[in-house]
A and B are shown apart, each in its own frame.
Chain A
Amino acid sequence: MKISKEQVEHVAMLARLELTEAEQEIYTEQLNSILDYAALLDKLDTQGVEPMAHALPLKNVFRDDVVQPSISQARALANAPDAEEGFFKVPKIV
């Protein structure tokens, strides 16, 4: 599979990255070389092999439904680039 410049542009949109023309070129080239390398996996027959999403086979890790203290509004907003009246402030959404 070869990834095209258009696909790179689409992926950048999905990832909310804005790439310059030059970046698009270089990423297309670099992603292709990495994906060529990844194509090595095609050599393997993985029919019937279970996927391994976790390193340990743990199951059923739960927490009791007991309220813990929240943090203060001031602490919640301490790192905010822009805040007003206790809210995080963002520009126009649509």
Chain B
Amino acid sequence: MLDDFEMVAGVEVHTELWTKTKIFCGCTTEFGGEQNTHVCPVCLGLPGVLPVLNRQVVEYAIKTGLALNSEIAEFSKFDRKNYYYPDLPKNFQTSQYDLPICIGGHVEIEVDGVKKKVGITRAHMEEDAGKLVHSGATISTSDTSFVDYNRTGVPLLEIVSEPDLRSIDETVAYLEKLVQILEYIEVSDCKMEQGSVRFDINVSLRPIGSDKLGTRTETKNLNSFSSVRRCLEYEIERQAEVLREGGKVSQETRTWDEAKGITLSLRSKEEAHDYRYFPEPDLVPMLIDREWVERVRQTLPELPDARRLRLMGLGLSDYDAGVIINSKALAEFFDAALAQFNDAKTLVNWVTGDFLGTLKAKGLPVQLSPVNPEGLAELLNLVAKGTINGKIAKSVLEEMFATGKGAAQIVQDKGLVQISDEGAIAAIVTQVIEANPQSVADFKAGKERAIGFLVGQVMKASKGKANPGLVNKLLQEQLAQL
């Protein structure tokens, strides 16, 4: 980070909404598909066509607004944003200008233990543009470009933050939090690699201590947290150099070159923007009555912050709760397992330890885990009841992952039931003591750690099935009698 300047950033997040059809026509929003096959006269912008608004888009926008603590406008409308670009079939984008659906709001972030509310200015609905494919490596080195309109008209929600972000970490934390919320409320599939969420970063610098805003640049269309981080690192350093040399940062739109790790100016006279917004005459305004808003509120799931607090109330550490809520799928897995096994602390150790570790090793997302929450709970209940010990449980879990069989089944099939018969264990203990005089001598000489080795030998002799508590107790007793 810089020591002479403070960065001031705000972000515009474009998220594709998870509807079945496009915002103004019945074409599918499915990603991919052969070029120009998810199109119809309406999204192709053919002469004479008219848009009809998808109700689900409005519902998702309301839902997002509620999750971001926004006010939902009672009166909202669409406007046309006029500019020429070949990925925009009508050469205007139907968007919202002065009366967006969501007004205000905030998201709470935490960086280095410090909590902060990041303001949301607004969120508005609009249509996505098509996709350009270039004949050369980049847009500027291509003599020809190819247009695919499959994505044209996919609904977008543009969420605009206040310029509240003061560091790269804050910016990334805000974006991660926002995407997490969008994922939680299921308004977007949040598949960043498919462009479902894209970021435009506005950033400026000002001398530390100043409260005046500097001139900002906008870098468009970043699609991962790591590019946001790299882009900001580059861009603030670039601006700082300009300022240190006494120059002026020009207000402009820039583009991020992922391969080179630099931002580039998109400035050109022809691009001087004057969007000539005016009310969309082909769509009628929306009156969003409060009943509708309340109905949507009922569909809101528990949001990440609330969930985190609830889990901490169950005794989870801040860190563990954070790991669990980080993905909605994991949090739901946790809650489902918790319904059948109510020791949250033991559960979280297993979930964040062996369970996630195994998934990670197998490269599987939680949703595709061969072990379901009920299965894990069954396993942990076997441990709790003393049917198997913890060590055996780990191997049973491995077996569950490998075969998909239930815990009780595996325990039964493999005869893994814990040996809790004192007589049987005492016999093994006696054998182990006889076979390891050196360790016994060490123990007697005060080397407490030697008992660990002896416990291990007993467990090994019992094929791991001996009740570790009993093994300890009986070993201590027999050693004391020597």
Q: Chain A interface (Cβ within 8 Å of chain B)?
A: 13-14, 16, 51, 53-54, 56, 58-73, 76-77, 84-94
Contact A90:B21 (CB < 8 A) given known A61-B52, A62-B54: no
Whether B146 contacts A84 by the Cβ 8 Å rule is yes
Report Cα–Cα, A85/B143, bound state, in Å: 17
Whether B26 contacts A63 by the Cβ 8 Å rule is yes
Contact A93:B25 (CB < 8 A) given known A73-B34, A77-B36: no
Nearest-neighbor residue (CB-CB) of B147 within chain A = A88
Specify the main secondary structure of chain A where it touches its partner: loop
Q: Give the Cβ gap from A67 to chain B, nearest Cβ, in Å.
A: 5
The answer to the question of B440 belonging to the interface, with a C-beta cut-off of 8 Å to chain A, is no
Within 8 A of A (CB), among B245-280: 266, 268, 270, 272, 274, 276, 278-279
Beyond A62-B54, A65-B20, A85-B35, 13 additional pairs, beta carbon < 8 A:
A53-B279, A54-B281, A62-B52, A67-B20, A68-B27, A69-B26, A70-B27, A86-B37, A90-B147, A92-B142, A92-B144, A92-B145, A93-B145
Q: Give the Cβ gap from A5 to chain B, nearest Cβ, in Å.
A: 17
CB neighbours of B34 from chain A (8 A)? 73, 86
Report Cα–Cα, A69/B287, bound state, in Å: 30
Q: Give the Cβ gap from B29 to chain A, nearest Cβ, in Å.
A: 9
Report Cα–Cα, A86/B131, bound state, in Å: 13
CB neighbours of B274 from chain A (8 A)? 14
Nearest-neighbor residue (CB-CB) of B41 within chain A = A71
CB neighbours of B479 from chain A (8 A)? none
Whether B284 contacts A54 by the Cβ 8 Å rule is yes
Report Cα–Cα, A72/B34, bound state, in Å: 10
- Of all A-B residue pairs in the complex, the 8 with the closest CB atoms, nearest first, are A68-B26, A87-B146, A62-B55, A65-B56, A53-B279, A88-B147, A58-B284, A63-B52
Report Cα–Cα, A77/B142, bound state, in Å: 22
CB neighbours of B58 from chain A (8 A)? 62
CB neighbours of B145 from chain A (8 A)? 89-93
Whether B26 contacts A94 by the Cβ 8 Å rule is no
The answer to the question of B301 belonging to the interface, with a C-beta cut-off of 8 Å to chain A, is no
Whether B276 contacts A70 by the Cβ 8 Å rule is no
Report Cα–Cα, A93/B132, bound state, in Å: 10
